């Protein structure tokens, strides 16, 4: 499979977490193998596949696009230097994905801590440029647009208001589709702990989103 063909698959499929686990995973494994021998074209393909998720996770954790991109780039730099270690992996494609997210989570945390940033700041920045304009392309009425933007704002605030130790697993599982085991591997805690953290996270979100959850559909 060529790199051109690879691009036809959606990132999710390529990462092997959805749809056909065979072809995408094999393609990634093959690129990993080449990249580990210094093939930059192969690594570029890997970046194209994984960048969206890595950067999204970083964005949820650091709270602004600039830093998120910074974290994402650095994640791939570190990955490049550590590709060798993936050679022994059982399922290199899946392992690579978790590994990347682990690096990104780690770097994001470091950055947050170094700057002593609080999640509410992150939320504020995250919402930059996500007002009504973000939905300008839709065909809704202005009031519906405003309402939806407000809803989205509240949800983002709620997620951002979760303490980091709950937010990271929640983002990885509920927004990035990772399994409990993957979340555990990425964050370096036991799967049982991840389950507990997620119970707390869901409960906290439910409280914060209470009124939104009560609303009737379509109103």
Partner 1 sequence: MRAPRPCRAWRESLRELVDGHASLESVAAVERHAETCANCAAELQVARRMRGLLDGAAVAELTRAGEEAFIEGVFSRIDSDRSPTGEAPPLRPRRLAPRRAVQLGAASLVLAAAAALLLVVRSHTARPHGLEERPSVAPRVDLAAAADNAPAETVGARSAADRPGRELVLGDERAPLDLERFTADLLHALDATGFDPYRSSDLQPLLLELDMLDPTDLARGARGVLGTDGPQALRGAAARLLGPRADVRDRALLRDQFSTLGHAAARSLLDGGERGVRILWSLSAEGGERGAIAVDALANASAGEDLDPLDAMPAETDPSIAARVAIASPDRMARELLDRFLATGESPWLDAWATREDAEDALAQTLERRPPRDVERSRLVRATTLRPVETALPMVMAALVDGDRSAPAALAALLPLGGADALLGATASGRLRSDFEDAAWRAAIGANADLMLEAALREGAAAVLVSATMRAFAAEASEDNPTLLLVRLAARASGDRALSSRIDALLHLAAIGPQSGPPAPLLLDELAPLRQDPSPRLAAAAWMAWQALGGELDQTPAAIDRALRRGGPPTALHARLTRAVGRRSGARPH
Count the site residues for partner 1 by CB under 8 A: 76
Query: Which residues within the stretch 8-37 sit at the binding site for partner 1 (CB under 8 A)?
Result: none
Rule CB under 8 A: choose which of 26, 148, 189, 191 binds partner 1. Answer: 148
Query: Which residues within the stretch 37-96 sit at the binding site for partner 1 (CB under 8 A)?
Result: 40, 44, 47-48, 51-52, 55-56, 59-60, 64, 67, 69-74, 76-78, 80-81
Shortest separation between residue 160's beta carbon and partner 1, angstroms? 6
For position 193 contacting partner 1 by CB under 8 A, the verdict is no
Measured CA to CA in angstroms, residue 118 lies from 140, 165, 182 at distances of: 35, 13, 26
Q: Between 192 and 213, whose beta carbon lies closer to partner 1?
A: 213
Q: What is the dihedral of CA 147, 149, 150, 151, to 10 degrees?
A: 90
Angstrom distance (rounded) from CA 133 to CA 56:
20
Burial label for 210, CB within 10 Å (0-12, 13-18, 19+), is exposed
Q: Between 26 and 200, whose beta carbon lies closer to partner 1?
A: 200
Residue 150: count of CB within 10 angstroms of its CB:
13
């Amino acid at each position: 499979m060529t790199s051109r063909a690879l691009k036809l698959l959606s990132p999710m499929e390529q990462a092997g977490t959805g749809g056909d686990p065979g072809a995408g995973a094999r393609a990634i494994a093959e690129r990993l193998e080449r990249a580990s021998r210094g093939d930059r074209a192969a690594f570029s393909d890997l970046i194209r596949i994984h960048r969206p998720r890595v950067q999204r996770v970083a964005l949820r954790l650091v709270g602004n696009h600039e830093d998120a991109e910074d974290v994402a780039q650095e994640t791939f730099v570190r990955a490049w230097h550590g590709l060798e270690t993936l050679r022994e992996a059982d399922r290199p494609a899946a392992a690579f994905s978790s590994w990347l997210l682990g690096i990104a989570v780690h770097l994001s945390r470091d950055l947050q801590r170094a700057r002593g940033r609080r999640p509410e700041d992150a939320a504020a920045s995250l919402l930059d440029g996500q007002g009504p304009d973000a939905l300008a392309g839709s065909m809704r009425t202005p009031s519906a647009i405003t309402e939806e933007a407000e809803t989205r704002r509240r949800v983002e605030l709620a997620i951002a208001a979760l303490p980091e130790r709950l937010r990271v697993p929640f983002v990885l599982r509920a927004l990035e589709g990772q399994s409990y085991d993957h979340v555990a591997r990425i964050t370096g805690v036991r799967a049982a702990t991840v389950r507990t953290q997620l119970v707390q996270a869901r409960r906290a979100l439910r409280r914060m989103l209470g009124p939104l959850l009560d609303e009737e559909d379509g109103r």
